[in-house]
Structure 1
Amino acid sequence: MRLNKYIAQAGVASRRKADELTAAGKVKINGVVMTEMGYDVKPEDVVEVNGRALENAARPVYYVLNKPVGYITTAQDEQGRLTVMELMADVEQRVFPVGRLDCNTSGLLIMTNDGNLAYRLTHPKHNVYKTYRARVSGFLSPGRVEKLRTGVDIGGYVTAPAQVALLRQGDRSAIVEISICEGKNRQVRKMFAAVGNKVVELQRTAIGELKLGRLKEGQYRKLTPKEVEYLKNC
C-alpha cells in the first residue's frame, strides 16, 4: 500500500498531509527516516509518524460532529488548547477532522479515518459546497450581497461565485446564509469584511446535502450508509 494511503487509513492525516509529513522527515520506516512519498508499505514494515508507531485501521468510520466555539480543529495543539479530539475521546478508532473550522466558528465537522474521503471533500476541483449561517454587524445592502455572490478580493485572491441569501436584516445586524466551494483560511469572515460587514457569529450548517440538523453542540453521531455514499460521490 502506498505510504500516504497507509498513513491516512491509520487516521493520522489526509493523504495530502501525509505527503507533507513525509517530505518534512516526520515519517520513519523500520526506524529510518523516509522521504520517498511513493514508497509501498510492506506487511512487515513498522511505520512511525512523529515518533509514534501506527496501527493501520482497516475499517473506515464516519462521524459528524457539531463543533462548539472554543475548540481547535486539529488532532493536537502545542499550546495546550482544547481540540475537537477531546469531544471524540470515547471513539475507539483514531479519527481526524476533514478540513477546518476556526476556533470561533461552530457547526458541522466530519470526523473520519478515511483519507480518500477527506481528500475528496477538501480538494477545490470537486466543488463541494459548504454552507454557513452568519450574523454580521451593520446593514447588508443588496449591492454587498451581489458582490459576495460574484466574488470579492480577500487579499490578493478573488473568491469564486458564492450562493448568498439574506435571511433577516435588523437594526444593527443581519442574518445571512452563504455557501462556498472553496476553503481558504477564514474565507467567510474575510469575504464579509471585504464588503464592510464584520462577522459576529458563524456556524457551518451543511456540507453539500449533509446537514447539521438538530445535533447539539459538542455532540456527534455516526453517518448513515446513505450519507457516506453521498459524500463519496458528491
Structure 2
Amino acid sequence: MRSSGRNTGGNRDYRGAGNKRDEKQKRTGRPRPEERRHEKPGKPGGPGKGGGPGKGGGPGKGGKAAGAARGGPGGKRVTGSGAPKTRARNASAPQRPREYEAQLEERHRARHRAPAPRLPKTFGEEEGERLQKVLARAGMGSRRSCEELIAQARVEVNGKIVVEQGLRVDPEKDEIKVDGLTIATQSHVFFALNKPAGVVSAMEDPDGRPCLGDYVQNRETRLFHVGRLDTETEGLILLTNHGELAHRLTHPRYGVQKTYLAAVQGPLPRDLGKRLKEGIRLDDGYARADHFRVVQNTGKNYLVEVSLHEGRRHIVRRMLAEAGFPVDKLVRTRFGPVSLGDQKSGWLRRMTNTEVGMLMGEVGL
C-alpha cells in the first residue's frame, strides 16, 4: 500500500518513510538545517533540535514543535491562543499616554537647545580676542597697523584709552572706538551712493572740500568707501563697515568688474573696441578692457560703455585719451553685481539683502 507522505502513527519521519535524507539526519543526531533556527536544543536524554534522536533516544519536544510549525502531527499550530507568551505579554502591556510622550519630546528638545557649557580657563581657551585682531577684522588695517593705532593711544575700550598690546576683549559686550568712532564688530551696514562731480572720495577732507562723509547721516559707526572715484567722476560708490568685504572688492586678485559710461568726441573707428580689449600701453603698463560698446551717437557726440576689472588711478580716462579720444564726462554705472539704476545724483540708499549676498558671493564670503 502506497504511503500518503504524512506520519499518522507518531513517527518523526512525517516527510515520508524511508527518506534517505531523514535517515542520514537520524544517524548523525543533528536536526535539519531548516529546523535549527526554530527550536532550542533538547534537554539531555531527549532528542536534539529538529526531531533528531537525542542522547536518551526517546522522542522529545523538538519534534512536536517542528511538526506543528509545518502543519505535521505532534504539536499545536501557532495561531490564536497558541501564540508565544512573550507576544501576549507585550500586547497586554499598557501604552504610554500621549501627554507623557509629548513631555519626553519636549525634554529632548530642551536638552539640545541648551547652550554649551563654558569651560574654565584651565580647560579651554582664554576668554575674548586680542584687540588688534578685532580691529583688523573690522577693517582698520593689518594687525601691525592696528598695533600702531593702539600705541598711538587712538583706541579706547569701554571709555578707557588702551596703550598696552595684547589686551583681550569681547566684541559682543565691549564698546571699542577708534578716534572716537565705534567700530563695527557684529552688525554690518551697506550703502550705495551716487557721488556727484566735485566730491572727494574720502570720508573726511582736511582742506574742507565736499567729501563722502557729508552724505552719511549715521556717523556713530565708521564707514569705508569701496574703491575710489576721481573728483570729477560721478557715479556709484559703495560705503560699508565690513572691512573684509571692502578689502576684497578692491583687491586685483578677485577681479570685480566695474562699468563706466564715457562721453567722447568722434568719429570713432570701428576697431576702437578691439584695440581696448587687446590692451592700451600706458606709463604703468598695459591696460585692457573687458567689454566695449557704443551706447549712443548724436553727430560727433558719442556715449560709450567700458567695463574692466582693474582699479588703477584714472584708468578709463587714460585709456581713452591714449587711444585719441579724451573723456568729457565719466560716470560709473555698475560695481560688480550692484547697478546704479535710476538713483539720482547725491542720493544715498541702503543696499538690499540680495545685492549684499551677490557682492559677498562675488568675492567668496
TM-score bracket relative to the smaller structure: 0.7 to 0.9
The counterpart of 1:57, out of the listed 184, 194, 198, is 184
**For 2:253, which of 101, 120, 125 is the aligned residue?**
125
Aligned positions, number: 220
Normalised to the residue count of structure 1, the TM-score between the two structures is: 0.83
- The answer to whether residue 136 in structure 2 is matched with residue 31 in structure 1 is no
Q: Higher strand fraction: Structure 1 or Structure 2?
A: 1
- Checking the alignment, whether the CA contact within 8 Å between 1:131 and 1:180 is kept in structure 2 is yes
What does the per-residue CA deviation read over 1:101-156, in whole Å, with 9 as the maximum and x for residues that have no partner? 11111111111001111011101111111000110123221222211122111213
Q: CA deviation at 1:56?
A: 2.6
TM-score (norm. length: structure 2): 0.55
Cα distance in structure 2, aligned partners of 1:130 and 1:119: 15
Deviates most, 76-85 or 159-168: 159-168
The answer to whether the 8 A contact 1:151-1:158 is kept is yes
Deviation at 1:8, TM superposition (A): 5.9
Determine if the alignment matches structure 1 residue 219 to structure 2 residue 347. Answer: yes
Residue number among 193, 199, 203 corresponding to 1:71 in the alignment = 199
Does residue 22 (structure 1) correspond to residue 145 (structure 2)? The answer is yes
The answer for the alignment partner of 1:42 in structure 2 is 168
Distance verdict in 2 for CA 1:159–1:96, change over 3 Å: same
Alignment-mate amino acid for residue 42 of structure 1: R
Deviations 1:9-45 (A, max 9, x none): 2xxxx45xx239928x961248399xxxxx7662189
SS in 2 for 1:22: helix
- Identity rate, percent: 32
Pairing partner for 1:6 from 135, 145, 162? 135
Question: C-alpha deviations, 1:60-92, integer Å up to 9, x for none?
Answer: 100111111110111111221110110113465
- The answer to whether 1:232 aligns with 2:354 is no
Query: 1:185 & 1:197 partners in 2: Cα distance?
Result: 18
Contact 2:226–2:239 (CA<8 Å) still a contact in 1? Answer: yes
Q: Is the 8 A contact 1:8 1:113 kept in 2?
A: no
8 Å CA contact 1:151, 1:162 repeated in 2: no
Larger Rg: 2
Counterpart for residue 36 of structure 1: none
Q: 1:90 to 1:28 in 2, by over 3 A?
A: closer
Structure 1 unaligned blocks of 5 or more: 34-38
Cα displacement (A) at 1:207: 1.2
Q: Secondary structure of the equivalent of 1:191?
A: helix
What secondary structure is seen at the aligned counterpart in 1 of 2:283?
coil
CA distance in structure 2 between the partners assigned to 1:227 and 1:221 by the alignment? 12
Identify the range of structure 1 (147-156 vs 103-112) with the bigger mean alpha-carbon deviation. Answer: 147-156
Alpha carbons of structure 1 residues 89 and 141: separation in structure 2 relative to 1, 3 Å = same
Partner amino acid, structure 1, of 2:251: H
CA contact (8 A) 2:264 2:326 kept: yes
For 1:96 and 1:135, locate their aligned partners in 2 and report how far apart those are by CA, in whole Å: 29
What's 2:15 paired with?
none
Q: Partners of 1:43 and 1:137 in 2: how far apart?
A: 58
* Equivalent position to 2:269, from 141, 147, 161: 141
1 CA distance for matches of 2:175 and 2:322? 49
Equivalence for 2:210: 82
Of 56-65 and 187-196, deviating more is: 56-65
Corresponding residue SS for 1:121: helix
8 Å CA contact 2:289, 2:307 repeated in 1? no
Q: Per chain length, whose mean CA-contact separation is higher, i.e. which structure has more relative contact order (CA < 8 Å, sep 6+)?
A: 1
Give the superposed CA RMSD.
2.8
Which amino acid in 2 is paired with 1:226? T
**Cα distance in 1 for residues equivalent to 2:286 and 2:276:** 10
Determine whether 1:182 maps to 2:310.
yes
Amino acid at match of 2:142: D
